[in-house]
Structure 1
């Protein structure tokens, strides 16, 4: 198995995503001539359509294998982005954006499921952390490149962004093909063999999504992630508005905070995950939730500081604390979702788990804007309360989840025997 090929493929994919993601609204508004209202409505409709088809992705992962679904999502998005410059009418716009959203929705559970096929135990957590770090770094690079491309005259910059994003998926496809899950039988068996009572606890001989819905501990884990998912969207939605309106700081400071977050996640993701693997995944993830709540409390206290350099310095310190919480929570939480899922139904389990992210991201804009409208501190109390509740539920779930999911274990790779 060429694991380096997999990581390289995901890095290329992330750079392409970073090129396009910040400019999705502006792209169609500029290239297609559609109004921002029409573009926003179309992107929302495409997202909900992909969300409705998410369970199908889980079934396909279990039947065809995670790598095939991941590759299919790359092919679909490569074709869709190549057609973006042709979407000058609303029906064509809906078609290509729906294809893109469907590919993204399928990729979300397929990526950790594929990592589960090529690594096991604590090694799986490390690869999950490395993938997250690589994606953050790649998206940061893509965002910088996009800024340069938009300096081109007319729509050339936007067209270049779409075509380069399509090319990134096309280049990543052969790299993922090289990352064969050859060690799956030897590696994942030890990590996935939980207590024999697991089958009974998750619904006996139930199959398909019936087994997922019958697995109450896993559903509780998914609900817990829904609460903590709001902490992740806070940086993009609540923080820029808060810095400008409540603290009177320049809007450009939000870009600096994003840069700090991206650099720290990319640089420290793997080292922090190694430290987290010394503890139970539930407690490490819960510690991340408590750290999220602490960072939100610190944001709420910022208005009491003097304005000027002191305020700006404090914002960067709090943003660093927030990033530390993200680093503490992300890898153990994702490890729990992967290790708590049985091998033969991992696609369905992870698709159900990913819905907690998708629903939170759909609800967050309305909820966060409502809380911001109430005053300067209500948003942080709401986010902090959700994070603390999620952290407490993680600790309470510890005894109900499979032991292999809670306790990281080292699994030795098979040593090739010379002929």
Structure 2
């Protein structure tokens, strides 16, 4: 099996495992451990913050020992964690195991991206990342449906089955990526420079800040959409599921072809265009309140535009984050960039509920303004970013 095929197979298996529990994580852990929902929620939140604080450590280790080893260690860590879940007897053990899961998840994003950078170069990185994103999105959606069916027909037994399946999936993923990677870690003075170099790299901090603003558009789908659809538009709760289904299907089916199309343009401009379309989709969502009929059709149209924005923005934005760092510090750079996603996910629930509390249109105005500001920042940074980060370069991936 070719290295790229093994990588895709590993991340697909990883996504299937994540998809089995992420949509139902509170119920998943509540039923497996017997702890109260409040205890489970508090433990998961604490674990998430601990993993967030350790993200820079993951970046440092990626640079020192290689992305594949860190990704593999994360898989093994989650294998052990999910294998232990059926045997948890108290909150302390649950917290320890939850921290292990959170660290494995948090380190996976920069490690996967860095591993792609080690395996290929130029626009080959963009294409492999786009393919990976499409397959992962589809796999997580399929696993979520499977999890729902297991819960419907197997009751509490389903949670034990999902825990075992997760453990197996992460173990298989660890085996599949063994030996991948093509760049030996750099040691010496350049390596010791560490995060000082990252923190002095204003263009990279700029694209990280731009991504933080635009990342709020991604998390809005899960955090704010269901409330808005039911409370302000009065549509059935099932519409939220339909919107998620449209998003998942479009990303899975169109991720690669759209990425190939946008790679013909400068990455900064393509990513900025995607952010601007996000803002346009939020105008559509806000305007739905003015409709007296056809609200359901309007929701579907707005959802398609929203997903189109995601498709256009995701590949070039990720390409910029991968192509900009120097090889010997890529792990640290990508770990820093990953913080923009983590912070967005952490602040989104509070920010979105605050905006929803102000009224019916304020949420979309706030998200649209953030997306446009992020787009303008990307355009401003274009002239000072490395040429290879802005202009895709053809690259033939080795077999």
Is TM (by shorter chain) over 0.5?
yes
Q: Which residue number corresponds to residue 148 of structure 2?
A: 147
CA-CA distance at 1:206 after TM superposition:
7.6
How well do the aligned residues superpose, as a CA RMSD in angstroms?
A: 1.5
Q: Does residue 181 in structure 1 map to residue 181 in structure 2?
A: yes
Whether the 8 Å CA contact 1:339–1:404 is kept in 2: the answer is yes
CA distance in 1, matches of 2:229, 2:191: 53
CA-CA distance at 1:30 after TM superposition:
2.0
Deviations 1:70-92 (A, max 9, x none): 10000001110111112231101
CA distance in 2, matches of 1:362, 1:30: 25
Q: Does residue 213 in structure 1 map to residue 199 in structure 2?
A: yes
Whether the 8 Å CA contact 1:25–1:39 is kept in 2: the answer is yes
* Local SS of the residue matching 1:151: helix
Q: Does residue 360 in structure 1 map to residue 344 in structure 2?
A: yes
Q: Does residue 298 in structure 1 map to residue 284 in structure 2?
A: yes
CA distance in 2, matches of 1:414, 1:7: 15
* Local SS of the residue matching 1:150: helix
Q: Which residue number corresponds to residue 97 of structure 1?
A: 98
CA distance in 2, matches of 1:150, 1:120: 43
Q: Which residue number corresponds to residue 260 of structure 2?
A: 274
Q: Which residue number corresponds to residue 193 of structure 1?
A: none
* Local SS of the residue matching 1:314: helix
- With structure 1 as the length reference, what TM-score do the two structures score? 0.91
* Local SS of the residue matching 1:120: coil
CA distance in 2, matches of 1:170, 1:181: 19
CA-CA distance at 1:31 after TM superposition:
2.5
CA distance in 2, matches of 1:164, 1:413: 33
Whether the 8 Å CA contact 1:29–1:39 is kept in 2: the answer is yes
Q: Does residue 168 in structure 1 map to residue 169 in structure 2?
A: yes
226, 229, 235: which one pairs with 2:212?
226
Q: Which residue number corresponds to residue 111 of structure 1?
A: 112
Q: Which residue number corresponds to residue 244 of structure 1?
A: 230
Q: Does residue 370 in structure 1 map to residue 354 in structure 2?
A: yes
Q: Does residue 341 in structure 1 map to residue 320 in structure 2?
A: no
Change (3 A) 1:57 1:299: same
Whether the 8 Å CA contact 1:31–1:88 is kept in 2: the answer is no
Q: Which residue number corresponds to residue 245 of structure 2?
A: 259
CA-CA distance at 1:210 after TM superposition:
0.4
CA distance in 1, matches of 2:164, 2:273: 42
Q: Does residue 401 in structure 1 map to residue 385 in structure 2?
A: yes
Aligned pairs for 1:38-117 within 5 A: 38-117=39-118
* Local SS of the residue matching 1:91: helix
CA distance in 2, matches of 1:414, 1:381: 46
302, 308, 328: which one pairs with 1:318?
302
CA-CA distance at 1:153 after TM superposition:
4.3
Deviations 1:338-390 (A, max 9, x none): 00011000000000000011011100100000000111000000000000000
Change (3 A) 1:102 1:206: closer
Deviations 1:226-250 (A, max 9, x none): 1001000011011110000000001
CA distance in 1, matches of 2:138, 2:155: 29
- With structure 2 as the length reference, what TM-score do the two structures score? 0.96
- Which residues of structure 1 form unaligned runs of 5+? 186-203
CA-CA distance at 1:205 after TM superposition:
9.7
CA distance in 2, matches of 1:172, 1:363: 31
* Local SS of the residue matching 1:341: coil
Whether the 8 Å CA contact 2:63–2:332 is kept in 1: the answer is yes
CA-CA distance at 1:412 after TM superposition:
3.4
Whether the 8 Å CA contact 2:121–2:397 is kept in 1: the answer is no
335, 345, 363: which one pairs with 1:351?
335
Change (3 A) 1:414 1:111: closer
CA distance in 1, matches of 2:242, 2:168: 29
CA distance in 1, matches of 2:335, 2:100: 18
Q: Which residue number corresponds to residue 192 of structure 1?
A: none
Whether the 8 Å CA contact 1:276–1:284 is kept in 2: the answer is yes
Tell me how many residue pairs correspond in the alignment: 393
Q: Which residue number corresponds to residue 187 of structure 2?
A: none
* Local SS of the residue matching 1:398: helix
Deviations 1:105-135 (A, max 9, x none): 1111000000001111011100010010011
